[in-house]
Amino acid sequence: MIARWGGAVSLGLAFIAGGRAAEPAAPAASPIVAHLALVSDTHTSHAAAHEDQALYRGRLDRVIAAVNAAKVDLVLIAGDLTQDGKDEDFDDFVAQIKGFTAPVFCAPGNHDLGPKRIAGKQDGPSAERLARYERKVGLTYFARTQAGVRIIGLNSPILGSDSPLEQRMWSWLEHEFAHPVPQPTIVFMHYPPFTKSPDEPGGGYWNIEPEPRRHLLALLHQAGARTVLTGHLHFPLVTHDGATTFISTLPVSFGLPRGKQPQGWTFISLHANGEAEHEFRTVND
C-alpha cells in the first residue's frame, strides 16, 4: 500500500493561442531525497514474562533484516522501545538494534518513561525514568541532520506535564522552527496528536491532550512541516491536518486488536518538499 499526501497542486489556466486551448503545464515533481524506516513499539523486556513477549525479539530481528534489505538511509524508532523502562530492558534493546546498518534515531514512549499527564488521573513521567532513558539511550528530544534530512525527535509523553523539561522543549522547538533549513524536515515521536480529528477530546490513552496538541499543531503549520511519524497505536493510521500528514506505523511487538492487526514497519520515501510516501510492510512469525 503506497499513498501520497500533501498540499494542493496549483495548475496553470489553459489559454487561447492560435484559436486553440493550450494544455496546462504539469507541475514539476518533487524528487525523493531519502528513504527511511519507521519502526515502533518493540517492547523489549529482559524478563520476557509479558504475554507473548518471547516473540518480540524474533519480530524485531525480522524487521531489522527487512529494513537492511530495503537499504534505507535512516531508521527512526518512535517509542516504546522497552516494556517497563528498566536498565536491563534498555541494555537488551540497544544491543539488538546494533543490527541495523543505517543510522538509528530513537524517541521515547510511555512504556519507556511513563504515561502522559492527565489532570486528576496521572502525573506524567518521573525524573528518575527520564534520567534513566537519557543514560541508556540518549536525549529525549533533539534535532539532527543526516542523509540530507532534518530530523526532529520529540518527547511526546511529557507534553502537557507542565514540567520544566516540557517548557525547555517548547522553547527549543520554537527556536528550531524559527530557523528554516534547506533540507526537508521529518518530525517523529511516540504519541499521535490525534486519531480522528484535531479537535477531539483528551483524557484517554491514545492521543496528546488538547492544549499541548493545539500548541504543537500551530508550530507545525507555522514551520510548514509536512510529515509527522508516530507509533503507539499498534495499528497503521494516516490522518491529516491542513498540509501536514501524520503516519502511525505498524508495531514490531503486537498488533491491536491482537490477532487482527499484523506486526511490521513502514517504508517512507521523503520528497525534497517534505511530503512523504509510505508503505506499510508486515513481518511474519
Architecture per CATH, domain 31-283, reads as 4-Layer Sandwich (3.60)
- Predicted confidence at residue 47, as pLDDT, reads 82
How far is 255 from 109, CA to CA, in rounded Å? 16
User: Is it the case that residue 57 has pLDDT exceeding 80?
Assistant: yes
Beta-carbon count within 10 A of 94 CB = 17
How far is 67 from 183, CA to CA, in rounded Å? 23
Cell numbers placing 129: 525514568
Mean pLDDT of 44-51: 76
Mean pLDDT of 155-172: 97
Cell numbers placing 91: 541494555
- Predicted confidence at residue 50, as pLDDT, reads 62
- Predicted confidence at residue 284, as pLDDT, reads 86
List the domain boundaries for the chain.
31-283
How far is 102 from 178, CA to CA, in rounded Å? 29
pLDDT above 90 covers a percentage of the chain that reads 82
Predicted TM-score (pTM) of the model is 0.89
Mean pLDDT of 268-284: 96
Collapsed DSSP state (helix, strand, coil) of residue 188 = strand
Say if residues 74 and 151 touch (Cβ distance below 8 Å): yes
User: Is it the case that residue 4 has pLDDT exceeding 50?
Assistant: no
For 175, 183, 269, the CA distances from 145, given in Å and listed in that order, are 16, 8, 17
Read off the pLDDT band of 119 (50, 70, 90): confident
Per-residue pLDDT tens digits for 231-241: 999 999 999 99
Say if residues 177 and 223 touch (Cβ distance below 8 Å): yes
User: Is it the case that residue 51 has pLDDT exceeding 80?
Assistant: no
